[in-house]
């Protein structure tokens, strides 16, 4: 029997493969698109049974190649570029592909754990898994939203576990391939090491410079939640996956810089001190993002807690410090 991870060479997908390995599971089919060849590095320290291109995998699935051989599917593969303007590509890749996997899992009675997104909430201020709070701002968010809607319509007909996880702002190891789509913690780390300062957006939507608030969640916690549902196949639903506590971009910058200062034997500085010394710089807010940007997110994790998941989440200070340490180790 195999575990199948789509988007396996990507950020969250590769962390899930590694987590399965740590449980002693090596019968893993890694599914991805290696057009970005550098992503292979995310799997170089993992044990898998096979790698299959995403298009080849879907064809094999439809032909019945894997019938009776699948323990669960972790569907993490998607185009996550919120600036993508090709709507046909986005809907085929994110919506239709996910629908095909759902249909297969239901027909074969296979647990299906898939990546949704907090982007479905748009510019709203309430982040609860309910239709009245959902208003996507771009086609990426719409592709995620529409699948969740279809799932709700079919909910009463399900015959196997289905778990949709609405990821908030996930950061952590194995995201280096994402370029501009990597987390701000990743960019701040590299900016500070290269230039001795970090750059944040100026304020927008009534927020001060660097004061926009997001629910930043460590990939370590994202993996733990996935493993929790894998271990509890009787639990299904669409769940927010965040810490439940919004923190500012300034908080991430302060945590990144101070962790690096500490490694260099220097004392920690406050936000005001970092600003005064020019270690934090604010740049104009991009016009292309106006009206498409979430200046505030904070997961309502009541449903997740209600499912029985009671593990604490790392806050920015804890999670970013650990991540910076991991990046330093990788960088040598």
Q: Which residues are catalytic?
A: 140, 178
Measure Cα distances from 288 to 221, 230, 268 in Å.
32, 39, 35
User: Cα 186 vs. chain centroid, distance in angstroms?
Assistant: 14
Q: What is the helix (H) or strand (E) element at residue 18, kind and residue range?
A: helix 11-22
Tallying the residues shown for the chain, one arrives at: 332
DSSP state of 296: B
User: Hey, which residues does 165 pair with through a beta bridge?
Assistant: 115, 239
Closest to 191 (Cα-Cα) out of 141, 267, 249: 249
| Distance, CA of 280 to CA of 309 (rounded, Å) | 37
The structure tokens 């007909």 sit at 157
Instruction: Tell me the CB-side half-sphere exposure of residue 197, using CA atoms within 13 A.
Output: 13
Residue 60 · residue 35 · CB < 8 Å: no
Per the listing, tokens 């370029």 go with 179
């Amino acid at each position: 029997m195999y575990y199948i991870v789509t988007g396996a060479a990507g950020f969250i997908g590769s962390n899930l493969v590694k987590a399965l390995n740590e449980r002693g599971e090596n019968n893993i089919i890694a599914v991805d698109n290696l057009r970005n060849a550098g992503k292979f590095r995310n799997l170089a320290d993992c044990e898998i049974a096979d790698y299959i291109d995403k298009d080849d995998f879907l064809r094999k699935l439809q032909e019945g190649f894997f019938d009776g051989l699948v323990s669960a599917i972790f569907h993490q593969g998607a185009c996550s570029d919120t600036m993508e303007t090709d709507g046909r590509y986005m809907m085929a890749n994110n919506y239709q592909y996910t629908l095909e996997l759902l249909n297969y899992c239901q027909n074969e009675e296979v647990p299906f754990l898939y990546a949704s997104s907090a982007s479905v909430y748009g510019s709203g201020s309430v982040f609860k898994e309910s239709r009245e709070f959902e208003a996507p701002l771009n086609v990426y968010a719409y592709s995620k939203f529409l699948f969740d809607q279809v799932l709700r319509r079919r909910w009463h007909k399900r015959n196997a576990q289905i778990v949709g996880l609405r990821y908030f702002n996930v950061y952590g190891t194995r995201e280096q391939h994402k370029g501009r789509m990597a987390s701000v913690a990743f960019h701040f780390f590299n900016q500070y090491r290269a230039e001795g300062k970090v750059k944040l957006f100026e304020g927008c939507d009534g927020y001060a410079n660097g004061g926009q608030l997001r629910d930043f969640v460590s990939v370590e916690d994202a993996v733990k939640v996935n493993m929790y549902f894998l271990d509890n196949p009787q639990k299904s639903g669409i769940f927010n996956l965040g810490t439940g506590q919004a923190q500012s971009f300034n908080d991430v910058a302060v945590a990144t810089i101070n962790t690096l200062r500490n490694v260099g034997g220097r004392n920690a500085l406050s936000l005001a001190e970092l600003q005064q010394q020019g270690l934090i710089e604010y740049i104009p807010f991009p016009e292309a993002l106006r009206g498409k940007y979430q200046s505030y997110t904070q997961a309502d994790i009541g449903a997740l807690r209600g499912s029985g998941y009671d593990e604490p989440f790392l806050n920015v200070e804890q999670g970013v410090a650990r991540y910076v340490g991991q990046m330093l180790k990788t960088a040598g």
